[in-house]
Amino acid sequence: MIYQRSSALFAEAKKYIPGGVNSPVRAFKAVGGDPIFVKEAKGAYLYDVDGNQLIDYIASWGPLILGHAYEPVINAVVEKAKKGTSFGMPTEIETELAQLAVSMVPNIDKIRFVNSGTEACMSAVRLARGYTGKDKIIKFAGCYHGHSDSFLIQAGSGAVTFGSPNSPGVTQGTAKDTLLATYNDLGSVQALVDANQGEIAAIILEPVAGNMGCIVPQDGFVEGLRDICTREGILLLFDEVMTGFRLGRGGAQEALGVNADIVMFGKVIGGGLPVGAFAARAEIMAHLAPEGPVYQAGTLSGNPLAMSAGLAMLTELYNRPEVFTSLAEKTEYLHKGIAEVLTEKGVTHQINRFGSMISVHFTDEPVVDFSSAAKGNNDMFKKYFHGMLDNGVYLPPSAFESYFLSDALSYADLDKTIEAVGKVF
């Protein structure tokens, strides 16, 4: 395929935007080459500025679970825009989306809307600290919770793709309050809890991890965290920015059968517009301003365009929960197909999958945490990524990212994708 115009646009972008992109993982640094500039997209397909058509396995990094330019969402946004794009005053649609979200997700009474997953996680931790009166948090190596200071300690996603898990600019003072545990290792958590008795406000995690590739919680891991939190008076925070409204109507809480104390959302909840949110039982949310003393605010929070996209998206998912089953079946089909081809070609690999999240790791060890994910062969990954791209399949440009299937993908698309794997190796 030819990417002349993309490369020219990237050269121009680099003159005015650091690295040419507004979010690092878009830059292809982990796989080499220039990023592709997209012109438009519909359903499961991206159309780039050079006229190539690509089958999309990123779906804007998760939000577009029903495919690109999904009509009910687009129509809702267009109609709303005609009536004004922002007021800085309450609107009815905020309550409508709040009510729907609360009805779909277990164990939450109230929800506060923000503009990104980063903001949601940052605000949720402040609320947890304000509620418990404690400072420290436990996070897991390889889990990504957005780019705010407290979380850039061994974070996943772009932060590891670029080899800077501990970003310059994060102060020692901030870093000392973030304690680091190992995913799927309850002992590592218990040891931190024992060493910091009475000082821990929250344990935060991706209940199914997606930012070190897809990593599935092993039996008893999340249940064990719930027990530790309940016993020690620590709040359990589920970062469901990726899993929320993707693993089912009730997200990972429902899929795993474990309740968190505060849940954070982003991605699907905005239907492709900038929305994040955090939610909890009324008693916890009562600590948030203006009801309580924990401050949090936003000029564009609850923006009518963003709310209309989110409401249209969640309404679809509420009315058609069979979408989640259909997506999981498609993902399983893809898993089996890719595994068969790689095995036949003698390529060492692991495939992790949960619902519509999946990732391929080129290693012979099970991938259960950050250090096993980091052992993947990146040269093989690069060959895979670029080979698939040459065959019209757009995968995440880093081994530390999950794919996100959209229900717009047909079985013909999946077959084409599986065939492409055979051509690469």
Ligand X SMILES: *Cc1c(COP(=O)(O)O)cnc(C)c1O
* Of residues 3 and 238, the one with the C-beta less far from ligand X: 238
Chain centroid to Cα 423, Å, comes to 30
* Of residues 116 and 331, the one with the C-beta less far from ligand X: 116
Q: Considering only the stretches 129-137, 238-246, 304-312, 377-385, report the one whose residues sit in contact with ligand X under the rule CB under 6 A.
A: 238-246
Q: Does 398 bind ligand X (CB under 6 A)?
A: no
* Of residues 35 and 396, the one with the C-beta less far from ligand X: 396
CB 55 within 8 A of CB 45: yes
Question: Site for ligand X (CB under 6 A): which residue of 242, 247, 360, 374?
Answer: 242
Question: Site for ligand X (CB under 6 A): which residue of 111, 121, 204, 237?
Answer: 121
CB 420 within 8 A of CB 388: yes
Question: Site for ligand X (CB under 6 A): which residue of 35, 224, 266, 355?
Answer: 266
CB 265 within 8 A of CB 240: yes
Q: Does 56 bind ligand X (CB under 6 A)?
A: no
Could you tell me the smallest distance in angstroms from the CB atom of residue 145 to ligand X?
Answer: 5
Kind and range of the H or E run holding 319: helix 304-319
- Residues 6 or more apart whose CB falls under 8 angstroms from that of 5 comprise 37, 49, 50
Q: Considering only the stretches 83-91, 115-123, 189-197, 307-315, report the one whose residues sit in contact with ligand X under the rule CB under 6 A.
A: 115-123
Could you tell me the smallest distance in angstroms from the CB atom of residue 400 to ligand X?
Answer: 11
Question: Site for ligand X (CB under 6 A): which residue of 200, 241, 252, 323?
Answer: 241
Could you tell me the smallest distance in angstroms from the CB atom of residue 178 to ligand X?
Answer: 15
* Of residues 3 and 57, the one with the C-beta less far from ligand X: 57
* Of residues 276 and 376, the one with the C-beta less far from ligand X: 276
Task: Please give the positions annotated as active site.
Answer: 144, 239, 267
- Residue 93: closest CA among 85, 118, 104, 262: 85
Question: Site for ligand X (CB under 6 A): which residue of 136, 145, 246, 249?
Answer: 145
Question: Site for ligand X (CB under 6 A): which residue of 211, 331, 350, 352?
Answer: 211
* Of residues 35 and 207, the one with the C-beta less far from ligand X: 207
Dist CA 292 CA 205 (whole Å): 26
Task: Look up tokens 């420290």; give the residue.
Answer: 136
Closest-by-Cβ residue to ligand X is 117
CB 245 within 8 A of CB 311: no
Chain centroid to Cα 359, Å, comes to 13
For 345, other C-beta atoms within 10 Å of its C-beta total: 12
Q: Does 239 bind ligand X (CB under 6 A)?
A: yes
- Residue 245: closest CA among 71, 111, 93, 80: 111
* Of residues 210 and 310, the one with the C-beta less far from ligand X: 210
Could you tell me the smallest distance in angstroms from the CB atom of residue 274 to ligand X?
Answer: 7
Kind and range of the H or E run holding 425: none
Chain centroid to Cα 230, Å, comes to 26
Q: Does 118 bind ligand X (CB under 6 A)?
A: yes
Dist CA 127 CA 47 (whole Å): 42
Number of residues that bind ligand X (CB under 6 A): 15
Collapsing DSSP to helix, strand or coil, 348 comes out as coil
- Residues 6 or more apart whose CB falls under 8 angstroms from that of 24 comprise 158, 161, 162
Could you tell me the smallest distance in angstroms from the CB atom of residue 117 to ligand X?
Answer: 2
Q: Does 212 bind ligand X (CB under 6 A)?
A: no
Burial tier of 54 (Cβ tally within 10 Å: 0-12, 13-18, 19+): buried
Rule CB under 6 A: which residues touch ligand X? 116-118, 121, 144-146, 206, 210-211, 239, 241-242, 266, 276
